[in-house]
């Protein structure tokens, strides 16, 4: 419940900025929200005894927006896209609320870190470094919150849930970060070639599935769907 409330607070705070949006911001919100909703239809599921860890490539789509878009556009697009995506998949309301909340809490942390470092344009190496650090913070919050919930529900040690998938999770977030930065560079060069990002996203999905199966072979308690 706390995570869902924190996510709602992030939405309320960012909504105060909507009055400052221009036409480009509105279009960016719509395109990004649609992309997130579609990405949420393609997830990898890691089943524990009673809970399921769902892994998606959603972050690969919005990392570019972390660099290029208003923070409010990104936050509200992720919120809308995840809600719509989960609705289509008919997720239980309490699970959808938690997932949206943890996405937004982790995203807010990433935005704070990114802005604190001070980006200098999509093509500047300093911005790439800022994005990497921000995504590391996002990954830590995201993985920690999900592992905490699973450990509490299943009464398992927190470390026993968090540690086994760490190598695959690290590869996942690194890949998404590289793809997102590539998308930002493509958009800066020519927005019309941005859809090319779909190709590495699809490749990352296949690679991550292989990594999760490998993790399963080392720890029989998780089962990739």
Residues 28, 172: Cα–Cα separation, whole Å: 25
pLDDT value at residue 193: 55
pLDDT value at residue 219: 52
Domain count for the chain, please give it: 1
pLDDT value at residue 213: 59
CA distances from 43 to 64, 104, 127, 135 (A): 20, 18, 29, 19
Give the domain range for residue 21.
2-224
pLDDT value at residue 223: 40
Q: Which among 53, 23, 44, 31 has a CA at the least distance from the CA of 187?
A: 31
Structure-token pair, residue 150: 């699973």
pLDDT value at residue 51: 46
pLDDT value at residue 55: 62
pLDDT one digit per residue (tens) for the chain, 225 residues: 788 899 999 999 999 999 999 999 999 899 889 988 988 887 665 555 544 555 667 777 778 888 888 999 999 999 999 999 989 888 888 888 888 999 999 999 999 999 999 878 777 889 889 988 998 999 899 888 888 888 888 788 888 878 877 776 777 777 778 777 777 776 676 666 556 656 665 665 566 566 555 655 555 444 433
Residue with tokens 């769907």: 225
Answer for the pair 216, 222: CB distance below 8 angstroms, yes or no.
yes
- Judged on CB neighbours under 10 Å (0-12, 13-18, 19+), 84 is middle
pTM: 0.78
CA atoms in the 13 A half-sphere facing the CB of 209? 11
């Amino acid at each position: 419940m706390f995570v869902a409330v924190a996510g709602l607070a992030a939405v309320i705070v960012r909504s105060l900025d909507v009055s400052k949006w221009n036409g480009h911001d509105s279009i960016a919100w719509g395109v990004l929200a649609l992309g997130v909703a579609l990405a949420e239809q393609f997830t990898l599921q890691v089943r524990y005894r009673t809970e399921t860890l769902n892994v998606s490539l959603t972050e690969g789509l919005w990392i570019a927006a972390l660099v290029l878009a208003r923070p409010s556009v990104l936050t509200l697009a992720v919120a809308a896209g995840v809600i719509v995506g989960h609705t289509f998949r008919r997720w239980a309301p309490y699970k959808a609320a938690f997932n949206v909340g943890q996405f937004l809490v982790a995203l807010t942390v990433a935005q704070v870190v990114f802005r604190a470092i001070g980006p200098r344009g999509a093509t500047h190496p300093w911005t790439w470094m800022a994005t990497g650090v921000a995504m590391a913070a996002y990954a830590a919050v995201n993985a920690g919150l999900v592992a905490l919930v699973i450990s509490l529900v299943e009464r398992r040690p927190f470390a026993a849930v968090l540690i086994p998938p760490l190598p695959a999770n690290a590869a996942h977030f690194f890949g998404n970060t590289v793809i997102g930065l590539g998308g930002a560079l493509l958009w800066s060069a020519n927005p019309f070639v941005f859809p090319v990002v779909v190709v590495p996203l699809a490749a990352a999905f296949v690679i991550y599935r292989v990594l999760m199966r490998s993790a399963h072979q080392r720890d029989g308690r998780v089962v990739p769907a």
